[in-house]
Structure 1
Amino acid sequence: MTKQSNPQPRHLNELALLRLAQIIGNPKANPPIPALIPVGRTTFLNGVKSGKYPKPLKLGARSVAWRSADIFNYLESIGG
């Protein structure tokens, strides 16, 4: 039996949009949100600016989200 590596949670699809807390996690949420990319907020946002992490979509004047496909493609590219 072969083991398939699929970092994508079953409840998300390629068209889903992820907010920052869904990417970096939030242990204080009820229930806690596990991190897909376990880094701090500032580290992640600096990585977005530098091009290390995917760029977000602008949803409004003060609202952004990331395509789940972009995040999971990044995770696959680093072997996550």
Structure 2
Amino acid sequence: MASTTDPFKMITRIDLEELTGLSRSTIYDRMNSKSKRYDPDFPKPVKFGHLTRWRLSEVQAWIQSKIEARNHPQKTA
């Protein structure tokens, strides 16, 4: 998948798997509030009829937030 600067670029689940390294089941667990793997910050999909897509810019922002959290861990008291 080529990088792009289009803020509305939409990607497929397979693209999402490639970008994040997450499996299909983990992706859907991250979106399921009843799952122990739920992540409220995980990008929400956009439906186009029967098609499901994610905004590339939102996925990239989510990945960047994980990198920043790793680089600046919060201290616990």
Q: TM-score range by the shorter chain?
A: 0.5 to 0.7
Aligned to 2:25: 42
Aligned to 1:57: 46
CA distance in structure 2 between the partners assigned to 1:79 and 1:54 by the alignment: 15
Percent same amino acid at aligned positions?
18
Moved over 4 A (4+): none
- More helix per residue: 2
Aligned to 2:8: 15
Aligned length, in residue pairs: 61
CA distance in structure 2 between the partners assigned to 1:19 and 1:12 by the alignment: 17
Q: Give the SS at the match of 1:79.
A: helix
Where structure 1 has 5 or more consecutive residues not aligned to the other structure, the ranges are: 1-8, 25-34
Matches within 5 A, 1:69-80: 69-79=57-67
Where structure 2 has 5 or more consecutive residues not aligned to the other structure, the ranges are: 33-37, 69-77
State TM-score, norm by structure 2.
Answer: 0.68
**1:27-51 per-position Cα deviation (integer Å, ceiling 9, x unaligned):** xxxxxxxx11001100111102232
Q: RMSD over aligned Cα, in angstroms?
A: 1.9
